[in-house]
């Protein structure tokens, strides 16, 4: 599956020029969009540059959207690409036709931009999660356990519920086994493709914190704490509107204030759950503090910043620089470490950074 390194590519295939352009505009900030107005040109274009997702209108000229998806499923180069159908009919009336032709999702017409983005993301993620089946069992189980954990958190945040920490921690155990196993390169690449940013970023931070802990000789129970703390450190971001969280341009002062709210939101949520260990609360509460006192939310300085939070800050910044976002490709590890070493010496613990750099570079060798 070919993919733009920063934005996943989506082909919008619709014979109505207004509808096609409107949809392309609505998703263009988040996806790299190609447009086609009829079936034959679309097939040629898709074979030339297979996208991550195909969205086709049911009234496509000349064959209709369902037959078009049938043609894609019969084409070896395109057969596995997920395809969604745009329809003005209710989902109950089109569900059977979508399943019969081999489609993977549905977009109602007229649509709301927010719902369209959520639906596209859901369909893309299902395809990415299907590819996990090809990974070694130890990595597959770690990814699935983490996804379940993060889905429980998302549901709890939405409904005002809580999570059971003992369950959460036990689902982190495969992640620790995966770190012991040593080969995390392919799993990190696999999770980078996932379209749920908070999940992908948290998986990387949890895994790398556990790796960091293992490299400095911490016992398994502390590695488990680091992994859980890493997975939970940003859960408040799940409440941030996507247009702010994934904004491709600089945030306004108001949007930045919304973004920074993710720390208190995370802390309020974790405080409402029983038995969250102090270490995980420290990681979540202090990972944006800086040693010179210019961080947030409390402007802690020097020794006030806990060792666990210093480790988390390093892993979090490294994660953010190397993460693929809708507005940028992921940075190469060496480039990220050079930036951190040269520009952040007053913000982060340089001794710990040296150790972490060695840990990551060892993995890459």
Using the contact rule CB under 5 A, the part of the chain among 107-115, 269-277, 316-324, 335-343 near Fe ion is 316-324
Q: How deeply is 3 buried, as exposed, middle or buried, from its count of CB atoms within 10 A (0-12, 13-18, 19+)?
A: middle
Q: How far is the CB of 182 from Fe ion (least distance, A)?
A: 25
Distance CA 235, CA 162 (A): 12
Distance CA 246, CA 312 (A): 22
Residue of 109, 5, 19 lying closest to 52 (CA atoms): 5
Residue of 36, 41, 32, 29 lying closest to 15 (CA atoms): 36
Distance CA 355, CA 357 (A): 5
Q: How far is the CB of 128 from Fe ion (least distance, A)?
A: 20
**Of all helices (H) and strands (E), which one includes residue 359?**
helix 350-364
Is residue 194 helix, strand or coil? coil
Residues in the chain: 365
Q: Is 316 in the site for Fe ion (CB under 5 A)?
A: yes
Q: How far is the CB of 201 from Fe ion (least distance, A)?
A: 6
- Residues binding Fe ion: what is the number (CB under 5 A)? 2
Binding to Fe ion, residues 259-288 (CB under 5 A):
none
Residue among 123 and 202 whose Cβ is closer to Fe ion: 202
Q: Is 323 in the site for Fe ion (CB under 5 A)?
A: no
Contact 17, 57 (CB under 8 A): no
Q: Could you tell me how far CA 56 lies from the centroid of its own chain?
A: 25
Residue among 106 and 269 whose Cβ is closer to Fe ion: 269
The three-state DSSP-derived secondary structure of 308-337 is HHHHHHHHHHHHHHHCCECCECCCCHHHHH
Q: How far is the CB of 220 from Fe ion (least distance, A)?
A: 24
Q: How far is the CB of 30 from Fe ion (least distance, A)?
A: 19
CA dihedral 127, 129, 131, 132 (to 10 degrees): 180
Using the contact rule CB under 5 A, the part of the chain among 57-65, 99-107, 231-239, 306-314 near Fe ion is 231-239
And the tokens for 136?
A: 């070694």
x/- track of binding to Fe ion for residues 110-149 (CB under 5 A): ----------------------------------------
And the tokens for 48?
A: 């030339």
Q: How far is the CB of 307 from Fe ion (least distance, A)?
A: 18
Residue among 14 and 234 whose Cβ is closer to Fe ion: 234
Residue among 195 and 234 whose Cβ is closer to Fe ion: 234
Q: How far is the CB of 283 from Fe ion (least distance, A)?
A: 10
Q: Which of 57, 58, 234, 289 binds Fe ion (CB under 5 A)?
A: 234
Using the contact rule CB under 5 A, the part of the chain among 15-23, 39-47, 117-125, 309-317 near Fe ion is 309-317
Residue among 28 and 297 whose Cβ is closer to Fe ion: 297
Residue among 58 and 316 whose Cβ is closer to Fe ion: 316
Using the contact rule CB under 5 A, the part of the chain among 132-140, 165-173, 189-197, 230-238 near Fe ion is 230-238
Distance CA 12, CA 142 (A): 34
**Of all helices (H) and strands (E), which one includes residue 35?**
strand 32-36
Using the contact rule CB under 5 A, the part of the chain among 129-137, 156-164, 228-236, 294-302 near Fe ion is 228-236
Q: How far is the CB of 205 from Fe ion (least distance, A)?
A: 6
Q: Classify the C-alpha dihedral 109-112-114-115 as positive or negative.
A: negative
Query: Could you identify the residue written with the tokens 């089946």?
Result: 133
Q: How far is the CB of 316 from Fe ion (least distance, A)?
A: 4
Query: Could you identify the residue written with the tokens 């503090």?
Result: 289
Residue among 321 and 350 whose Cβ is closer to Fe ion: 321
Binding to Fe ion, residues 26-85 (CB under 5 A):
none
Residue among 57 and 316 whose Cβ is closer to Fe ion: 316
Binding site for Fe ion (CB under 5 A): 234, 316
């Amino acid at each position: 599956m070919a993919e733009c390194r920063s934005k996943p590519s989506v082909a919008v295939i619709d014979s109505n020029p207004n509808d096609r352009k409107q949809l392309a505009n609505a998703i263009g900030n988040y996806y790299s969009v190609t447009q086609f107005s009829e079936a034959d040109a679309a097939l040629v274009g898709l074979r030339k540059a297979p996208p991550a997702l195909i969205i086709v209108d049911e009234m496509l000229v000349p064959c209709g959207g369902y037959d078009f998806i049938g043609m894609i499923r019969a084409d070896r180069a395109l057969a596995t690409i997920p395809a969604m159908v745009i329809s003005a009919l209710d989902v109950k009336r089109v569900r059977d036709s979508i399943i019969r032709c081999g489609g993977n999702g549905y977009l109602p017409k007229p649509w709301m931009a927010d719902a369209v983005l959520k639906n596209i993301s859901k369909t893309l993620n299902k395809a990415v999660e299907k590819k996990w089946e090809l990974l070694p069992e130890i990595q597959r189980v770690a990814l699935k356990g983490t996804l379940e954990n993060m889905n429980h958190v998302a549901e709890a945040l939405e409904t005002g519920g809580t999570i059971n920490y003992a369950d959460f921690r036990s689902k982190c155990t495969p992640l620790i086994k995966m770190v012991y196993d040593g080969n995390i390169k392919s799993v990190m690449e696999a999770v980078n493709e996932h379209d749920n940013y908070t999940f992908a970023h948290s998986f990387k931070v949890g895994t790398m914190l556990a790796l960091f802990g293992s490299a400095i000789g911490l016992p398994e129970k502390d590695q488990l704490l680091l992994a859980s703390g890493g997975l939970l450190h940003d859960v408040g971001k799940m409440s941030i509107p996507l247009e702010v969280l994934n904004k491709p341009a600089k945030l306004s002062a108001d949007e930045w204030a919304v973004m920074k709210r993710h720390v208190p939101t995370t802390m309020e949520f974790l405080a409402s759950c029983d038995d969250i260990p102090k270490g995980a609360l420290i990681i979540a509460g202090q990972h944006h503090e800086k040693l010179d006192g210019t961080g947030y939310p409390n402007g802690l300085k020097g020794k006030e910043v806990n060792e666990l939070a210093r480790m988390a800050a390093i892993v979090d910044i490294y994660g953010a620089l190397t993460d693929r976002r809708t507005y940028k490709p992921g940075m190469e590890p060496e480039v990220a470490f050079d930036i951190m070493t040269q520009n952040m010496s007053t913000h982060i613990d340089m001794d710990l950074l040296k150790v972490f750099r060695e840990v990551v570079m060892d993995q890459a060798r």
